[in-house]
Every structure is written in C-alpha cells, then in structure tokens.
Amino acid sequence: MIRPFPVIESIHAVAVPFPNESHLITANLYALGKGPITLIDTGPKFPGILETIVARLKIKGIRITDIERIIITHGHIDHFGLALSIQKLAGHAMQCFIHAADLWKLSRQDIQKEFWSREADDFITRVGIPLNKIKTIKSRFSFLKTLCDPVEDVLPMEDGDEFCGNGYHLEVVHTPGHSPGACCFFESENKILFSGDHVIKHITPNPLVELNRNQLRNPNYQSLKSYLDSLEKIMKLDVRWVFPGHGEYMNGLKDIITSYKCHHRQRQEKVLRAIKEKPRSVYALIDKIFPVLPDSELFLASSDIWAHLEILLNDGQITLKDSGPPEIYQAI
C-alpha cells in the first residue's frame, strides 16, 4: 500500500499494482482535466491491468472515452505498454506524444530489435558476462516484449512544449539519463512535477546504457552524465509535490536530488576503489558493487557500472587496459 495522493480537482492519480516487480511497487498514471482528459503514461500490458485502470478511472468519474490524448514520460514498456489498448478501447482518434529522442522506441521494428539485438550481444561480450548466464538475461528480455504493443502514430514533443486543458497547464522538461528522451512534466498552477522514472521515492533510478547508438540524436550521449545534468535542471523548479511513475508521491525535491547525487558519488568511488585494487572487467566489478544479485539483473547491473566507468574515463581516472573482449579497465 502507498499513501493516498493529494486530492486535486483536475488531477487524478491512478496507482495500479506492478505484478512480479515488487521493487517498483506500482505503475502510476495521471488523468488531467475536467472535460477532455490528458493521460500521463499508461502502465504495462500485464493481464488485468487495463481493466483495473478502467475501474479506477470510473470511480473518479472518468471514462476511457473521455481521454483525448496520451503523453508518455519515456519510451520504456511500463510507461507506454497499454497505449494502443487504451486507444482501441476509447474507439476514437487519440493523439499520443513522446519526446522525439525516444520516438523510435515505440515502433514495431525497433521494439523487436530492442528486446534482443546484435548490439545487445556486443554489449554483453564487451562487459564479459559468461555464456552460461546469458540465457537467463535473454529470457528476461523476451518476457518484457510481451508487456507492450507498438504504437505507430506517435507525435514528437520537445523541451519547453506545453499541454493545456481545463484545470492544468503542463510544460515539458526534457530530462535525459534514464532514457535519452525521458521527460518530466511541470504543472505550474499546483506546482506538481510529474517525474516519470527520473525521480522515485524508494529507489535511485538507473541511468541505462543505450545499445542502439545509431538511433541517438546525440552520438556522444552518456546516460549518467545526462542524468546528473537533468537533476540540476529540475532543481531550479518551484516544486511542491513530485508525482512519480512508480510508488508514492514526494515532498522535498531538493533533498531527494541531494541524496541521489550522494548515491552516485559513493558508487563511483566504490567502482574506482575496486579498479585500483586490480584491473577489472565490468562483469568482474559486479561482485564488488552488487554482491548479492540474481542472474536476471545482470544486464541492469552491467549497465549501471558501465555508466560510472564512462564518467571515470571522462575524468581521466581510469583507462582501457585491454579492449578484450571482455574490456579491462585500470586506474591511472
């Protein structure tokens, strides 16, 4: 159970349980407006989730047919997985928006490619994950593919774009890091930041490695550097409440950001200490950074460590000793 969201006449939070993913607790959707509704995110396509959303919106006096558009915080399946189902159930034309940098992630072709690809094989080879561990990782990716439908008719949005309606005024705040096209939405009237996965109360969001580099608008994109820059960006906003993509709402955004920065600084120091002990691959670092980890989480752990290695390389604190595979890093 999470604590109830603040009651606001034109902003309705719908938190649905997130099956099989206890660390995320809930998938949160937000219905905005007093007439035509704008929906922020849709949740994943788990069995029964759509019916739960419909029932909980009905309690708030909202029908699926009232939704006129969907805006998506970023292109991960737990945030857009039900977009097509909601469009079909509504039975009318419904605009769907996502930041231009994540637009490709919703297409049929790239959903198939993203959930295992030559780039993924290349990454796990470079980080040194053993062959006997890869089957579990691929199985996890295959399962994730079942939790979304591709959405072909999607419109791009950019930083500074606005979405307005009866009772709300949203500004798009581009916050790359967790994903290149990740966005928060700032509702200035009530001082609410809809944070997607950029800020979550009970966990520190992962800056994720981007495998399909040819799809990136910025070829030099680095997830952790972008994420830390994005934290500084939202620090400047006058925020009363943070409504995240998962779990409970938050107060005290600046304190949360401070804790995030401290977390990443400590992790970076831990990675550096391990490399100073002896040169290591990403996989060899996992036991030092995440001593108890199921095989299904190896990809996320590798991605997290990779992001910190990019910062250490940028700062000239480590160098690539051996291009491998696997790649071996050493301290300078």
pLDDT value at position 143?
A: 82
281: left (phi over 0), alpha (psi -120 to 50) or beta: beta
pLDDT value at position 115?
A: 60
pTM of this structure: 0.95
Q: Which residues of the chain carry a pLDDT beneath 50?
A: none
Q: How far is CA 210 from CA 6, 41, 129, 304, in A?
A: 35, 21, 17, 11
Gap between the Cα atoms of 80 and 149, Å rounded? 8
Do 172 and 187 contact (CB within 8 A), yes or no? Answer: no
pLDDT value at position 211?
A: 86
Q: What are the structural domains of the chain?
A: 11-116+148-251 (3.60.15.10), 118-142+261-331 (1.10.10.10)
pLDDT value at position 314?
A: 95
Q: Which of 64, 137, 76, 150 is nearest to 106 (CA)?
A: 150
pLDDT value at position 21?
A: 56
Gap between the Cα atoms of 322 and 184, Å rounded? 39
pLDDT value at position 12?
A: 97
Q: How far is CA 282 from CA 44, 126, 138, 293, in A?
A: 30, 8, 18, 14
